[in-house]
Structure 1
């Protein structure tokens, strides 16, 4: 038997999983037993019984024995006690398959050879023995063995727990079993299939409904050829519901009913039409009484890949995409540099005024040839007037242009030309900004994909033994994992990733899972991160770090209650992140820029972007946010909670402070905020922190009297062991009092992080 990990009920945390560990396996065993009953009872083409053996060969290791018991019971009592040689051969084959799976766990070939071989050999022995049954028994046993082997292999390849082909195979066995059961005029198979198919159509699951209709219709026909009209009606009704009214209950049921009527018209004998119509009608009427939330339309999730993705191939593909984006940005810049620049100067205004007015004037020869120098001086004298006032009047004309016989028309033409000139310059600046933003975004995304490709290319050193034990532990809870991998990273830290069919866990259950998984891997795990996508749930376990971060923040606005400073503080699975953004100016416009920069930076960091890449993308977002000038400082510190390594990134931010060993020192140099230039002029540095150290980020309003008093106050607070919230509040209150004395109010914010031992 495969090794399984048992829960320890004496452990208080593991008690949260006791109910799940007891109920889920029992439900799986009961479901497997019921499926075995149906598979053993189903008869195909009047003589074949392949489902019982096929289910025994194909179901997972934790429930095949219960399925075999149900199949044996159905085979034994099939025909209400009429025991045949074929049934005896099937019982021997099921027993041989169970014995082989117990003796060689995890090896499928011995089970297939034992089950199918025993069935064929039993048929041959009975056929050749005294009073032999003849070739017919050998033929039926061989057909059963062939179908059972194919059925079992398909279930091994496509587990029935995972929605898809395996689920349809198990459903077809149940449909075939119900197809042979009748209660008076009612056919249970036709009624059950119509009910389930109508429910799927009402939920808007078009592809599952069509697949279900096709598989169950074929199973009904194989179980009883007289049910072929019912199968035709089922398929026609499903197709009509999917095409005409997907996800709408009343219209769906009407379309299904129309398909069933069409199937009844195919009945050759009128005596069988009414029972089939009655069975289908009862099945279609049942969903009308279901609770409303059972039939709520759900979006169809795409089928997951048949095989686990190959990390090396994915990494190579991501690297290729990154190179394509990078080359795209370089190509755009190269083409832009290759084209000649269009240099519009004020001479364009003069030429356009001449072409629109003076070209058709009778004094053109005099003004623009005989007195060209004086005319050109007069036109150039219009430039400061137009740039200052934006328009020109006849009284503003200089003396060189006083001889013009159309002064009003000259002013109007000059005004139009200058407006076009200014519009062309603004369009050129806007196009330049858009090109810079586009190429910067392409380049930043290329760098981000390159980093992700590097991470995927180094998935870690696998631990197959521990992976198997963790998988067995989850299987013992009744949730066999679809994928399970325990790996070690470059620093020797263990990580476990377990992918399950979509499952919900409570907080105590997650804590218990972390404790049990950590005990198996001999590591101390934090509660896992839960990711749900496409009908699957992935649990990511990481080792508990050596340090933990305690945050504190305080702030006050320069005027009113709206501050332009924004703070984000959070912990990712491996690092503590603290962000402070100061919008340019004060009030609501500054608050919008600061909050936008902080929120976008936090999202990008949580997605795995580095500080430099996040700053580049946020820079583009601020530059394109509106036509008004937008800018914000970016102050960021990221602390690795395993090693204490801190990475500081500043773009236009005020100096921060580090308190290490009781001594405070400022960190940070002068740089420009983000959102102003096409690129980011940021600075980063790496420092090392230990338990008890502080990291402090402040806005420029707090440094109204310089950084000296801040460093002294931090040393006093560190010596007293003040919590971060208190440290931030003292700094802000003191800075506020100093600002009121100097008469220079500004938004004041302090964000404090202190490292503590993880068990503290």
Structure 2
């Protein structure tokens, strides 16, 4: 079934498509709500760590909405009055969001920015005479707790049952615990309803864990809730132990535990308010449909989960290999730095000439002792003559005219200078080879580390769907050797099926995508086929929300050979576009440009990041030949699920993005790859949507500057031109302008437009 169905000429969304469209918005709205709860919650009347902790730990698509909700919660908790604690927390939230927006991935960097800002602002207030040591102490405690929460959320996603979800529940309980509406205690009522719900579902361990964490959060929000938390703990223990998964019996056991727990409430008058809230929760849960409270059916164990230890073992081995290669590169560099280095200069030529000729000469004492200064001045004067390629006796300077062996002196000096230059070139070549070797080891080590990390977290398995997919292939006469259906961190479905070596036609692959998608209840892309050593692996991925349309055009400066090379393709989750401009024009530039583009494309398809691919391409160009080689590298990778675009430029001309009809140039000056031992590139992350354009150009197209290009792009985007037509228009206009200026160069334009998947 397609994403859109047509009825009477009008397109309508199917339920599956509607869920796919609403899921990202729902995640962000949930992040805002959780952030608001974290900003509102106060522990022990002073600590407010939840909001900052969630911003540090939430995923890339949720941390900014969470920060907005947390800031709103902080402001509303004090009814708009900005206290010193509120100012400190707001500054910390802003710093953490800014650092994550700038591309920081590691928790240590983000935590240092957010927590450091929190403590730093508090310290500034304290030094200024406001707040005192108490403000610094509480801010430091908030910073430590927020960093710990961020670490926990990075390791345990809040969308999945576990420590991350319990942290979110604790923030909600603490926020509700500080609210009282007449006789209603929302915190107690919600906690009771949740614990009873889990007991009715037969999830005894989850109920007991929630009881412990939520009870502690209630007590932290208001110590007066300690007796109520003890009563709820007693009720949860009774329901979880005596009758888990049996609706009527569970409700009865929970009610009995609540009555027993009421005896712990002092003074006795509070017992009636506690029981009033618990009874309300019991009534709400009891009124839920029976299907909502039915225990989850036990799923049969499928072979897919048994593969996880193998995945983990393979990931560990890859990580060990990566660490070994990285250590090898570091060891080579450390040994090189520790060894003494020869600092040979032209004085070595003079010393070698003396050793081979003058040492056995009868005038040695006169020339090298009595007239040392004049001799050295004459030998220094030989340097430009030797560098120009030859030395004759008639060219000897006046200081050396007294030499009794002029021809032998010229020959000895020439041999010494040739040996000196040979040793210098060998030293430079060895240095280049060492740099290339260690750079290769480091880049491959980082790539293996990334692949090992991906392999170590293959996603949450879905055994039931894995078994049904395996049954499908068995019914088709090709039993799979391995079959795994998983959900990634963003809730996207992936399926991997390994079969004996089998050939599939395009029609068969499309039919398989439809059948596997029907089993998984998702719309899947045509699978990627990998064949190796008698096995065929089919990789199914959920159909993205966007698709990429490519276009390109080019013109050579002279003749038909251009030094520019373009690669445009789609991997299972991203659209990739590469433009490489070889140095110069003609065939040599074409060799460098095509080599850089082809190697980059292969590395990206293999799973390397843009930065790692650039480092390996840099080494390849540096060692390609004895002549200097270099090429610019311009790359954009667009996530077709989220629209996140990552740009990488090394020596490339500015590119252009058209977002919402407005054009902006991106890119700063840098050096091409293949020139230096390392790569001087720049990365940037932007967000694109359907209808946006990304345009990469070579420097030949900007012969008259970027102004006319921006205007042309605005006109073409407003008209909705196809990428091929837009690229052709840019190249033809640039070629006409270059002919007027008389500065011909290779001209290339590569265009990508995003469209909604239909």
**TM-score, with structure 2 as normaliser:** 0.59
CA RMSD of aligned residues (A): 1.1
Show the counterpart of 1:453.
452
Structure 2 Cα separation of the partners of residues 560 and 508 of structure 1 = 43
Partner secondary structure for residue 349 of structure 1: helix
Deviation (angstroms), 1:527: 1.3
Shift, 1:476, TM fit: 1.3
Matched with 1:626 is 625
How far 1:357 moved relative to its partner?
1.0
Alignment of 1:464-543 (within 5 A): 464-543=463-542
Query: Per-residue CA shift, 1:296-320, capped at 9, x if unaligned?
Result: xxxxxxxxxx988711111111111
SS at 1:633 equivalent: strand
Structure 1 residue aligned with 2:349:
349
How far apart are the structure 1 equivalents of 2:458 and 2:367?
79
Alignment map for 1:555-594 (pairs within 5 Å): 555-594=554-593
In 2, Cα distance between equivalents of 1:593 and 1:649: 18
1:530, 1:635 → 2: CA distance?
Answer: 28
The equivalences for 1:142-541 within 5 A come to 310-387=310-387, 389-541=388-540
- Helix, strand or coil at the partner of 2:524: coil
Gaps of 5+ in 2: 1-305
| Counterpart Cα distance in 2 of 1:660 and 1:625 | 40
Q: Distance in 2 between matches of 1:307 and 1:570?
A: 31
Structure with larger Rg: 1
- 1:502 Cα offset (Å): 1.8
Task: Name the structure 2 match of 1:211.
Answer: none
**SS at 1:310 equivalent:** helix
The 3-state SS of whatever aligns with 2:513 is: helix
2:391 aligns to what SS in structure 1?
coil
SS in 1 for 2:450: helix
Deviations 1:597-636 (A, max 9, x none): 0000000000000000000000000011111111100000
Whole-angstrom CA distance in 1 between matches of 2:674 and 2:622:
5
SS of match in other structure, 1:639:
strand
CA distance in 1, matches of 2:407, 2:621: 44
Offset, 1:465: 0.6
What SS class does the counterpart of residue 621 from structure 1 fall into? helix
How far apart, CA to CA, are the structure 2 residues paired with 1:534 and 1:426?
A: 46
Q: Secondary structure at the match of 2:472?
A: helix
Q: Aligned partners of 1:534, 1:561: CA distance in 2, in Å?
A: 42
Runs of 4+ residues over 6 Å off in structure 1: 306-309
Partner of 1:611: 610
Partner of 2:712: 713
Q: Please report how far the alpha carbon of residue 534 of structure 1 lies from its aligned counterpart in structure 2 after TM superposition.
A: 2.0
Deviation (angstroms), 1:688: 0.3
Deviations 1:675-702 (A, max 9, x none): 0111000000000000000000000010
SS state at 1:517 partner: helix
> How far apart, in 1, do the equivalents of 2:377 and 2:338 lie?
35
**1:75-131 deviation digits (Å, cap 9, x = unpaired):** xxxxxxxxxxxxxxxxxxxxxxxxxxxxxxxxxxxxxxxxxxxxxxxxxxxxxxxxx
How big is the shift at 1:666?
A: 0.3
| Counterpart-to-counterpart distance in 2, 1:585 and 1:371 | 53
- C-alpha distance in structure 1 between counterparts of 2:750 and 2:309, whole Å: 42
Tell me by how many angstroms 1:363 deviates. 1.2
1:355, CA displacement in angstroms? 0.9
Compare relative contact order (CA 8 Å, sep 6+) and give the higher one, 1 or 2: 1
Distance 2:314 2:307 in 1: 13
Find the counterpart in structure 1 of residue 673 from structure 2.
674
Distance in 1 between residues matched to 2:526 and 2:662, nearest whole Å:
35
SS at match of 2:451: helix
Superposition deviation, residue 391 in structure 1: 1.6
* Counterpart-to-counterpart distance in 2, 1:379 and 1:339: 31
Which structure 1 residue ranges, 5 or more long, are not aligned? 1-305
Query: How far 1:595 moved relative to its partner?
Result: 0.5
Q: Distance in 2 between matches of 1:597 and 1:473?
A: 43
Write out per-residue CA displacement over residues 359-384 of structure 1, whole angstroms, 9 at most, x where no aligned residue.
11121111111111111100001112
Paired with 1:501 and 1:739, the residues of 2 have a C-alpha distance of 57
Matched with 2:116 is: none
Tell me if 1:750 matches 2:749: yes
- Determine the C-alpha separation between the residues in 1 that align with 2:561 and 2:480: 50
How far apart, in 2, do the equivalents of 1:390 and 1:372 lie?
26
SS of 1:438's equivalent?
helix
For residues 417 and 621 of structure 2, what CA distance do their matches in structure 1 show?
A: 31
Q: TM-score, normalised by structure 1?
A: 0.59
Distance 2:307 2:670 in 1: 50
For 1:466 and 1:435, the matched residues in 2 are separated by 51
Q: Which whole-Å CA distance do the structure 2 matches of 1:520 and 1:559 have between them?
A: 57
Question: Alignment length, in residue pairs?
Answer: 453
Identify the residue that residue 6 of structure 1 maps to in structure 2. none
Aligned residue for 1:552? 551
Residue 492 of structure 1 aligns to a residue in which SS? coil
CA separation in 2, counterparts of 1:500 and 1:376?
79
